[in-house]
Amino acid sequence: MNRIIEDILNGHGSEINAGIKRPYRLVETVYETPTVKKMRFKSDIGEKLTFKPGQFVEIGYSSDGSKIDVQRPYSIGSAPGSDTMEFYIGMVGGKLTSILEKAKAGDIYNISMPLGKNFEYVPGYNKKSLFLAAATGIAPFMSMLKYIEKNGIDEDIVLIYSVKTDKDVICARELKRFDLNGVAKVVVTLTRQEWEGEKGRINEDKIKRYAPDIKDRTVYLCGSSQFNVSMTELLTSMGVPADRGHIKHDVWG
Ligand SMILES: Cc1cc2nc3c(=O)[nH]c(=O)nc-3n(C[C@H](O)[C@H](O)[C@H](O)COP(=O)(O)OP(=O)(O)OC[C@H]3O[C@@H](n4cnc5c(N)ncnc54)[C@H](O)[C@@H]3O)c2cc1C
pLDDT per residue over 202-247, tens digit each? Answer: 999 999 999 999 999 999 999 999 999 999 999 999 999 988 889 9
DSSP secondary structure letter of residue 115: B
Q: Above 60 in pLDDT, residue 12?
A: no
- If you measure from the C-alpha of residue 253 to the centroid of ligand 1, how many angstroms do you get, rounded to a whole number? 6
Give the model's pLDDT for residue 198: 98
Domain residue spans of the chain: 11-111, 118-252
For ligand 1, atom 24, the nearest C-alpha belongs to 94
Q: Are 228 and 221 in contact (CB under 8 A)?
A: yes
pLDDT at position 74: 98
Q: How far is the CA of 191 from the centre of ligand 1 (A)?
A: 21
pLDDT number for residue 207: 98
pLDDT, average across residues 72-96: 97
Average confidence score pLDDT of the chain: 93
User: Taking Cα atoms as reference points, which of 120, 103, 99 lies closest to residue 244?
Assistant: 120
Average pLDDT over residues 69-96: 97
Question: For the chain, what is the radius of gyration of the CA atoms?
Answer: 18
Q: Are strands 198-199 and 218-224 parallel, antiparallel or unpaired?
A: unpaired
Closest Cα to atom 42 of ligand 1: 92
Residue nearest to atom 49 of ligand 1 (CA): 94
How much is the pLDDT for 217? 95
Task: Name all residues whose Cβ lies below 6 A of ligand 1.
Answer: 12, 56, 72-75, 87-90, 92, 94-97, 116, 136, 139, 250, 252-253
Poorest-pLDDT segment among 9-13, 197-201, 205-209: 9-13
Which has the higher per-residue pLDDT, 7 or 85? 85
**In the prediction, which pLDDT does 235 show?**
97
Q: Where are the beta strands (DSSP E) in 76-148?
A: 85-90, 108-111, 128-134
Instruction: Give the pLDDT band (50/70/90) at residue 7.
Output: low
The CATH topology of domain 11-111 is Elongation Factor Tu (Ef-tu); domain 3 (2.40.30)
Q: How far apart are the first and last CA of the chain?
A: 19
Q: Whose CA is nearest to atom 21 of ligand 1?
A: 97
Q: Write down the H helix ranges in the chain.
A: 3-10, 95-102, 139-150, 172-180, 204-210, 225-237
Say what the pLDDT of residue 41 is: 98
Q: How high is the pLDDT of residue 245?
A: 82
* Assigned fold of 118-252: Rossmann fold (3.40.50)
| pLDDT confidence band for 16 (50 / 70 / 90) | low
Average pLDDT over residues 25-47: 97
Same fold, 11-111 and 118-252: no
| Burial per residue of 73-112, b for 16 or more beta-carbon CB atoms within 10 angstroms, e otherwise | bbbbbbbbebebbbbbbbeeeeebeebbeeeeeebebbbb
Give the model's pLDDT for residue 243. Answer: 86
